[in-house]
Amino acid sequence: MPYIPERYPRYKGYALPNFPVLTTDLLGHLDKIKNFDSRPSDIMICTYPKSGTNWIYEILTMVIKGCAEYATKNKGASMLEAIDDFRVLENVPENSTRIINSHLPLDDLPQKHIENGYKVVHVMRNPKDVAVSYYNYLASKKDRTTMEVALDFPISWPMFIDHFGRGDDQVYGGWFNYVKTLEKAKETGKLSNILTLHYEQLKRDPMPSLKALAEFLGVKASDELLEEINDKCSFEKMSTIGEEAKDNTKIKMMSITGKNFMFRKGQIGDWKNWFTVAQNEAFSQLIETHEGLKITIHL
Ligand code: PPS
């Protein structure tokens, strides 16, 4: 049985969500992304899916604005592979910071941004929790109300985790490959202006990560402001912000339970409720085989 249904576009061995712009003009759109006219002030969030993108997007927006107010748009509005018309980004005045984001692998991201050393913020999360989050996202359609989703298909957990570990035929490609490529690009200097934050550190002890972020962005932010941002971006508050943010896309993502379906549990270690002993052993071994590449995984 094929793992990912045929309706999902495929590119260089990996699958992609069926965003309309990708199903109608896959190669054209990917080409536009690679040749995107980045600006020195652009900040690009690069994450493997389910690593905390929505969270860091909200935090980053607040740090840049210098106030703890929710973004008026969902991160999807500046997600390169999802937006059909780049004029929404091109029309942003030159003196405003654009926060763009993508789950695409490094080679398929805007090359000008990378080559010119513009800022990149990467969030990394324990791949076991990423896998659980990803699986639940794919399987959670029943809980959704108004929004048509670009990624959902039935799959069993054993089948999902087997493919996730091997990294073959994945939506956006495999986790190990994604992270290894970024790490290597950091080592070789190809990615010269990147801050890697860890989901687990941000959750357990947020202030050092928030301070590092403000410093990386070159923004003066008081401890008081960062504490306020941290509070506004807590999982509990962010999962119910649709109304407060007055953003249609955020409201549309509210599920029948009244929570935004992008926000499930927001915990460290939920993998323990999903992995069998054998699955955990096999996955831990996989992580060890990649140790040489200095991937820091916070368990
Ligand atoms: S996506 O669709 O790939 O962009 O998803 P992404 O935002 O990267 O990751 C979704 C997971 O991040 C959790 N999340 C948070 N955790 C802690 N605090 C905050 N504020 C927060 N916001 C989102 C979200 O719940 C998903 O993880 P799981 O484990 O499924 O709950």
pLDDT (average), residues 289-295: 66
pLDDT reading at 251 higher than 50: no
Q: Which of the four pLDDT bands, split at 50, 70 and 90, describes residue 63?
A: very high
pLDDT at 141: 63
Q: Which residues line ligand 1 (CB under 6 A)?
A: 47, 49-55, 129, 133, 136, 203, 233-235, 238, 262-266, 270
Whether 9 shows a pLDDT value over 50: the answer reads yes
Higher pLDDT, 24 or 254: 24
Residue 248 reports pLDDT greater than 70: no
Mutation test residue for ligand 1: of 234, 257, 264, the one with most atoms within 8 Å of CB: 264
| Of the candidate ranges 96-105, 178-187, 223-232, 290-299, the one whose mean pLDDT is the lowest | 290-299
CA of 264 relative to ligand 1 center, distance in Å? 7
Nearest CA to ligand 1 atom 14: 266
pLDDT category at 125 given cuts 50, 70, 90 is very high
- Residue 285 neighbours by CB under 8 Å, 6+ apart: none
Tell which residue, 100, 82, 84, 83, has the closest CA to residue 37.
Answer: 100
The residues annotated as belonging to the active site are: 103
pLDDT of residue 168: 77
For residue 246, what pLDDT is reported? 46
Letter for the amino acid at 86?
A: F
Q: Of ligand 1's atoms, which has the minimum distance to the CA of residue 79?
A: 4
Q: What is the mean pLDDT of residues 150-162?
A: 83
pLDDT at 70: 87
Residue 152 has pLDDT above 80, yes or no: no
Tokens, residue 147: 């929004």
> What is the average pLDDT across 184-213?
97
What percent of the chain stands above pLDDT 90?
Answer: 69
pLDDT band, very low/low/confident/very high, at 65 (cuts 50, 70, 90): very high
**Which of 47, 54, 202 gets mutated to test ligand 1 (max ligand atoms within 8 A of its CB)?**
54
pLDDT at 100 (0 to 100): 98
134 neighbors 159 (Cβ within 8 angstroms): no
> 4 or 293: whose pLDDT is higher?
4
As assigned by CATH, the class of the 10-289 domain is alpha beta
- Pocket probe for ligand 1: among 47, 262, 270, the residue whose CB has the most ligand atoms within 8 Å is 262
Average confidence score pLDDT of the chain: 88
pLDDT for 252 beyond 90: no
Phi-psi sector, 258: left (phi>0), alpha (psi -120 to 50), beta = left
pLDDT of the residue at 128: 96
Enumerate residues 6+ apart whose C-beta is below 8 A from 31: none
In the prediction, which pLDDT does 146 show? 45
Residue nearest to atom 22 of ligand 1 (CA): 55
| Secondary structure of residue 18 in the 3-state scheme | coil
Give ∠ CA 72-77-79 in degrees, rounded to 5: 135
Nearest CA to ligand 1 atom 15: 266
- Whether the predicted pLDDT of 245 surpasses 70: no
Owner of token pair 């202030």: 207
Asked whether the predicted pLDDT for residue 181 surpasses 80, the reply is: yes
Angstrom distance (rounded) from CA 250 to CA 245: 8
The pTM assigned to this predicted structure is: 0.93
The C-alpha atoms of residue 143 and residue 249 are separated, in whole angstroms, by: 17
Ligand 1 midpoint to CA 116 (Å): 30
